[in-house]
Every structure is written in C-alpha cells, then in structure tokens.
Structure 1
Amino acid sequence: MVEELALAEDAVAACVDAPAWALPEHELIAALDVAHRLQQRLAAVTLTLIRELDGRGTARTQGASCTAVWLRERLRLTIPAARRLIDLATALDAGNPGIRQALADGHITPDQARVISDTATTVQTTAGTEAADKAVGVLTDWARQFDPTLLRKLGTRILDHVAPDIADAAAQAALEAEARRATRDRHLTLSEQTDGRLRLTGTLDAEAAGLFRAAIDPLTSPSGPDDSRSPGQRRHDALAEVCRLALRTGELPDSGGDPAQIVVTTTYDALTATLGAGTLDTGLQLTPETVRRLACDATLLPAVLGGAGQVLDVGRQRRLITGPLRRALVLRDRGCAFPGCDRPPRWCDAHHIRHWADGGPTSLTNAVLLCGHHHRHLHHSDWTVQLAGDGHPEFIPPAWLDPEQVPRRNHYHRRT
C-alpha cells in the first residue's frame, strides 16, 4: 500500500506545476472533476488507515492521550477535525459498506458520507436494516445533486421513501437523534493568535445556547445614545462581564489548588522601574494599562524571572507543590510539559522528577507540570524527564520509539 500511495503522490506532484493556463475550458473542468474524485478516494483510504490505527491503540502506545490528539500532532489537524475523521471511520467500519464504497468510488464527499451514515443509523434504529440499506441507496443517489446541508434536510423525511408506513412515528425519533448528534458535536475551541488575543469558535447545543443567550443578552444592549460599539463588540464585552461576575462569586473550582487569580510576569528591571506589560499564566499578553486596571480589584502576585525564564523568587517554598512553588511551576511550564500536549495549568498535577519516595526534594528543579494522562503515562512507561541547561523540562522517548532518544519539548506553551 505504501508503494502504491507513493506512486500516486508522485503522479499528483507532477500535476501541481503543470501549465493549467494552456488547457481549454472543457479539459480544465474535466481535470477538476478528476481531482475532486481523487480526493474522495484518498479520503476513503485515509479513513481506513485511521480506523486501523485507532483500533490498535497506536496513539496511547506512543504517549498520546487519544487518537485525536495523536492525529493533531501527526497530521497537524485541529482536535475537532481529527475527532470527526475518527467518528466517520468508526461509523463506516461498523456496517455501512455501501457508504464506504460510494466514497471510495469518488461519488460522495466525506461530509456527505457523514450525513448518510448518521441518517442510516437513525433509520436502522427505527425501521430496521433493510430500510437502512434502502436509505443509503437513496441518499447516495441524492448526493449527486445536493450538498451535505440539503442532504441532511432531505434525510429527515427519508422514511417517506423507504418505509412510509412508519414515517410519522419515526419523525420524532429522527428529531431525538438530531438532538443526540448536537450533544455529540458540541465543542468550544480557543485559538490563541500571535498578538495575544483569542479566537472563539464552536457549536453550542440547544441547552447551552439558551443559557448563553440568557446570560449575555441583558448585557448586549447599547449603554446609551452615544454607544458606538458594534453588535459584535457588545457581545464581546457582555461575555467578559459574565466572566467577571463568575469570578466574583468565589464559587469557581480551584485551579490546581489555588483560587482563580492573576499572575503577572515581568522582568527585574521592569519591576524596579515602571510597571511593564504583563503575561498571564495562560500565556496571554496584557498592556501596562490593563495590568494596572486589573490590579485595582485583584490579587497581584509579582514574580521575578531571569533572562532565560528561570523563576528567581516567588516567595517561600512549602513541603507540597502548592502556593508559591506551584505558581513558579506554572510560570515556567505554562501547562502540561509533555511533548504535544496543550492542557492548561489548571488541568495539571505537579510531578516529582526524582520521586518523593526515592528521596527527591520538593523543589522547582525537581518538578514538572503534567496533565493527568501524561502523569500516569510517565509513571508507567519508559519515557523519562529532565531539566535542560536552560531550566526547562525535556522528555527522553523510549528507545523503541526513537532509537537515538533525542530529547523532545512541548512547543504549545509559549516560553518567557
């Protein structure tokens, strides 16, 4: 298979720089059709490979918490995109050979395949396997004319075509299935941009959408005739105000043993002169004006760092990795330090590099921040961790994974 795919890759590569401008219009259209069909065929192969890797547990064997995280690292996918591929690969492997064949033949797209699979599952639950097979055939034919959105709408009444005697009773089941899919597909993605801002994208299920609107709608109206904010800006400010209200309740869970708080990182020179720009423990940058404003009604915890980002002074150390020592660890590691993990500090435990039971001290030089999965993985695998010369953690993979055992670092958390 690898050799065949390599040949196909070479053939596609040869077309990349081909002079498309020299082709007449009908050949351009024909080439587009072939390229599109080839995409679908490759998608079918990709799903087959993903299903096999997921079934073998390759991700956990190589240290990832799940296949979606492993695919993100391997293929540079987003987690939602990776999960959608895994779900589709699992669905097609679970008894939908007709859908898989249509995808392999280049007749449908992965998005259409997902719609057909979801609809067939609903039909099978309500009307049995025979009706589900008929539904796959009908929807596959419709897929030649309709995009995934229209195909899903048509699928809500597919029983009118394949099982009209139970169509009305099954319509309710279809609505319930749609609600379950909404619950399954709910997600919120926070994407950090280069200037320190966050981009929020996601899909809320009906209940969360109602809660969200109930919380921000009262805060989104213009504050007066001179309010020049756009609707989007008012929603942004409303969300920020909801977060402030939640923090003021004092009822939020602790973050790794500490209450919700602001940690401002600065250099020694800036600390002894004028307050400079601040960095939160999440890695986001704040302007000096924002830092001063937040400091008016929040606990300010100054931390002094050396040139390479080592923590020089955050207060008295304690026996456990809590308080000032944990804050120092958060400032240094920014989150789970295991390579490829993006878990934030509040999801992490403090791990003794040299175990406490073996006489290891509770100190910054003997600690590393790890999420629950990678904390367990480090204890039960051949991975080892050490501090490099610059004071930051690096992980040595087992020889079976990397014979040269080149140290690896986490690149998801920005370093000071």
Structure 2
Amino acid sequence: MVEELAQADAAIAACATAATWALPEHELVAALDAAHRLEQRLAAVKLALVRELDGRGTARAQGASSTAVWLRERLHLTVPAARRLVDLATALDNSNPEVRQALADARITLDQARVIADTVTTVHNAAGPEAADKAVTVLVGWAGQFDPTLLRKLGTRILDHVAPDIADAAARAALEAEAARATRDRHLTLSELTDGRLRLTGTLDTETAGLLRAAIDPLTAPTGPDDQRSPGQRRHDALADLCRLTLRTNELPHHGGDPAQIVVTTSYDNLAGQLSAGTAGTRVQLSAGTLDTSLQLRAGNPDTGLQLRAGLPDTSLQLGAGTLDTGLQLTPETVRRLACDATILPAVLGGTGQPLDIGRQRRLITGPLRRALVLRDRGCAFPGCDRPPRWCDAHHIHHWANGGTTSLANAVLLCGHHHRHIHHSDWTVHLASDGHPEFTPPAWLDPEQLPRRNHYHPRT
C-alpha cells in the first residue's frame, strides 16, 4: 500500500504543477471530476487506516491520550476535526460496509458519508439492523442526487420508507438525538486579536439560533438608501445595538458586585482635547504637601451601561487614548463619544494613581432630563432614522468636555449608528426656534446645506 500511495503521490504532484491554463474547457471539467473522485477514494483509504491504528492502540502506545490527540499532532488537525475522523472511521467499519464501499467507489462524498452514518445509527437504534440495512441502500441512492444538507433533512423521514409502522415514534427519537448532538456541540469562542478586535466563532443550538435571529434580524435592515454597509457589517452593528439595549435594561446579573458595564480610563485633559506636549498633571495644595492629581470620570448611568473613568497619571496615556479595563485601547474620538452620556465622579489621585479623595457622583443626562428628551425627540432625531428611544444615547450638542451644559437645550437623542456618525462626519446639529433638533448636512452632500429634520417620529 505504501508503494502504491507513493506512486499516486508522484502522479498527483505532477498534476499540481501542470499548466491548467493550456487545457480546453472540457478537459478542465473532466480533470475536476477526476480530482474529486480521487479525493473521496483517498478519504476512504484514510478512514480505514485511522480505524486500524485506533483499534491497535497505536496512539496510546506512542504516549498520546487518544487517537484524536495523536492525529492532531501527526496531521496538524484540530482536535474536533480529528475526533470526527475517528468517529466516522469507527462507524463505517462497525456497521456500514456498504457506505464504506460507496465512498471508496466515489459514489458518495465524505460529508455525505457522515450524514448517512449518523442517520443509519439512529435508524438502527430505533428499528433494528434490518431497517438500518434498508436505510443504507436508500440513502446511498439519494446521495447521487442530493447534497449533504438536503440528505440530512431527507434522512429525518427515512423510516417512512424502511419502517413505516414505527416512523412517527422513531422520528421523535431522531429529533431528540439531533437535539442531543446540538446540545453537545454548542460552543462560543471569543478570540482576542492583537489590535483589540474580537473574533467570534461557534455553533448555536436550534433554540439559541432562533433567539438570536429573532433579536438581531429587526436590527439588520439598511437604515436607508444611502446605507453602504455590507450585510456582515449590518449584523455586526445589530449585535452592538443588541448589547447596548440589554445593558440598558439593568436586568443583567451583577459582576464582581458591580452592574454589568464597560470601563474606559483616560486623563481628563486628553478627554477634553486640551493636552499639549509637555504639560504636567494639574497640581493642588493639600495639608500633607503637593501631590499630582487628575479627574476621574465614571459614565455608568443605568441607561447606557457604560462606565468612563478618567484619572490615571498623564504619563500613562501619552497618546490621548482611552484604555478599557481589559487593557485594550480606544481612540480619543471614541472615548469622547462614550463620554456623551456620562456620570462624573471627581477623584484626587496620588502620584502613583491611588485615589485620595472621592467626590460625590453627579448624574448627567438621566432621570427626568432624559425623560424630557425622550418626550421631545421620540427616538433617534437624525433625519430618516426610525430607532426608538430605548436604543438611543443622549448626545451633547456642545460637548460637555468643551464647556457644554447638561440641559435639554444642549442634548439630542441619537441611535448608536448616528451617534458615531455625528462624531466622525461633517454633519452638525442645533435646536431650531421651536426647540426641536435640526441637522445640517456637509457641503459635499448638499451645497446649500439646508437643515433637515426627522419626520418619522410622531410629534405632540
């Protein structure tokens, strides 16, 4: 076998370097079909080898805890992929010689073999070996017409063909088995990238998938004809909106004694945009002597679920960036945007950053003031947006860090998307003579820069 595989390896290596551009189209198609057949035949050989090695205990003899772990090191696979390989090799060897032969003959693909093996196991447990043998014949025949996804769907009703007298009861058993597999395989992985982003990967069970779709689908629609976001970007932003909405409910469990929140740390001078090169921290005279001080800001009002702290020594934030409690950094513009709906907590810090004197919290756009803002704007005030108030932040028209007041005359409701947009674009907002917000577009969008209003939300 080793010599024959070596010959096949040499032949395939020659094909890998062949000039495919020189082949006519019909030969390209024929070569693709041949390569696909070889792939399935090799998969059958690979499964036979894995099953024999697993049966002999080679992995444990060589010091591995299991065949799957040994395959991970030997073939550089992930453990889940290696485990699926071992499970399929075992299933085909024990009870599915017809499926194994169909794969060796390239009449089915490896993915179809997995589907058939799972389905036949369920049928065997529900109706016995005779029905399982009939199921193999039916499924292998269907595999010539249907892809693995549709084949799995058809397999849920296979007993209607091979054992109709127990089909309903077996269908329930198959559904329960599928649910058990989904529960077993459910997982969510959060992988932190070096630049502060997060990669989400995982598999949701059926119920959770339904919950996620029900919650996220209404938020993924384009905001208007000018929305240039891709579907993936809209899903990303919808997940962010969903998280903000959840944080505003104040119903999440406490974490370490505090409400669920994010924490951003920055210096007050950086936040206000007034830090100049070489400027030392503000100094105050205390009875014990002169100590470095700064200001700590906490944005943690119940509506946003955010916490913004400004108060580390100036030398720790030379770039003016904000730092999350996870150690990742945010741009100054993002920190300023998050600070729009902040709660302020002054704090005097020593030279090493320890708090020496904590002042009393002073709430910003919350409580009665936010309720008045909701009554006035009815939702996101940006022209054409239909986001309701519970998905909106309170934005300071004249930023509080630049001297803006916390009042109804200096506030406007904006959804997360338009809150970011107003901070990173040339749009401006002001209150008209009737007290309602108007937005002035940039000159490149409207040379006349005529003010625009949101006419979607009903007014009283």
Within 5 Å, which residues of 2 pair with 1:68-79?
71=71, 74-78=74-78
8 A contact 1:278–1:288 mirrored in 2: no
C-alpha separation in 1, matches of 2:205 and 2:171: 20
> AA paired with 1:123?
V
> AA paired with 2:316?
L
Structure 1 residues 70 and 96, CA, compared in 2 at 3 Å: closer, same or farther? same
Say whether residues 1:240 and 2:243 are aligned partners. Answer: yes
> AA paired with 2:241?
A
Listed one character per residue, the Cα deviations across residues 41-98 of structure 1 (whole Å, up to 9, x for unaligned) are 221233334445656373896577x665665555454555444334323332442222
Q: Report the identity percentage.
A: 62
8 A contact 1:120–1:136 mirrored in 2: yes
Give the aligned partner of residue 271 of structure 1: 316
Give the aligned partner of residue 110 of structure 1: 110
Within 5 Å, which residues of 2 pair with 1:173-192?
173-190=173-190
8 A contact 1:115–1:148 mirrored in 2: yes
Within 5 Å, which residues of 2 pair with 1:1-400?
1-51=1-51, 56=57, 58=59, 71=71, 74-78=74-78, 80-190=80-190, 195-212=195-212, 216=215, 220=219, 231-241=234-244, 244=247, 249=252, 251-252=254-255, 271=316, 273-276=318-321, 278=323, 286-288=330-332
8 A contact 1:270–1:276 mirrored in 2: no
8 A contact 1:60–1:67 mirrored in 2: no
> AA paired with 1:155?
G
C-alpha separation in 2, matches of 1:62 and 1:107: 37
8 A contact 1:44–1:104 mirrored in 2: yes
| Alpha-carbon offset, residue 279 of structure 1 | 7.8
> AA paired with 1:187?
H
8 A contact 2:99–2:113 mirrored in 1: yes
C-alpha separation in 2, matches of 1:187 and 1:93: 29
Give the aligned partner of residue 389 of structure 1: none
> AA paired with 1:121?
T
Listed one character per residue, the Cα deviations across residues 9-46 of structure 1 (whole Å, up to 9, x for unaligned) are 22211111223344444433332222111111221233
Root-mean-square deviation over aligned CA pairs: 4.7
8 A contact 1:246–1:252 mirrored in 2: no
Structure 1 residues 28 and 159, CA, compared in 2 at 3 Å: closer, same or farther? same
Give the aligned partner of residue 421 of structure 2: none
- RCO comparison, higher one (Cα < 8 Å, 6+): 1
C-alpha separation in 2, matches of 1:270 and 1:54: 59
C-alpha separation in 2, matches of 1:314 and 1:95: 68
C-alpha separation in 1, matches of 2:112 and 2:181: 15
| Alpha-carbon offset, residue 172 of structure 1 | 2.5
> AA paired with 1:42?
L
C-alpha separation in 1, matches of 2:137 and 2:92: 15
C-alpha separation in 2, matches of 1:7 and 1:273: 63
What SS does the aligned partner of 1:146 have?
A: coil
TM-score by length of 1: 0.55
C-alpha separation in 1, matches of 2:102 and 2:256: 49
> AA paired with 1:208?
T
| Alpha-carbon offset, residue 7 of structure 1 | 3.0
| Alpha-carbon offset, residue 207 of structure 1 | 2.9
C-alpha separation in 2, matches of 1:101 and 1:208: 38
Give the aligned partner of residue 403 of structure 1: none
8 A contact 1:54–1:67 mirrored in 2: yes
C-alpha separation in 2, matches of 1:249 and 1:60: 50
TM-score by length of 2: 0.50
| Alpha-carbon offset, residue 158 of structure 1 | 1.8
Structure 1 residues 239 and 137, CA, compared in 2 at 3 Å: closer, same or farther? same
8 A contact 2:321–2:329 mirrored in 1: no
> AA paired with 1:89?
A
C-alpha separation in 2, matches of 1:260 and 1:48: 53
Give the aligned partner of residue 278 of structure 2: none
| Alpha-carbon offset, residue 209 of structure 1 | 2.9
What SS does the aligned partner of 1:114 have?
A: helix
C-alpha separation in 2, matches of 1:63 and 1:276: 47
> AA paired with 2:202?
G
What SS does the aligned partner of 1:157 have?
A: coil
Structure 1 residues 220 and 44, CA, compared in 2 at 3 Å: closer, same or farther? same
- Count the aligned residue pairs: 293
Give the aligned partner of residue 457 of structure 2: none
Larger radius of gyration: 2
Structure 1 residues 43 and 162, CA, compared in 2 at 3 Å: closer, same or farther? same
C-alpha separation in 2, matches of 1:110 and 1:17: 26
> AA paired with 1:107?
R
C-alpha separation in 2, matches of 1:15 and 1:209: 43
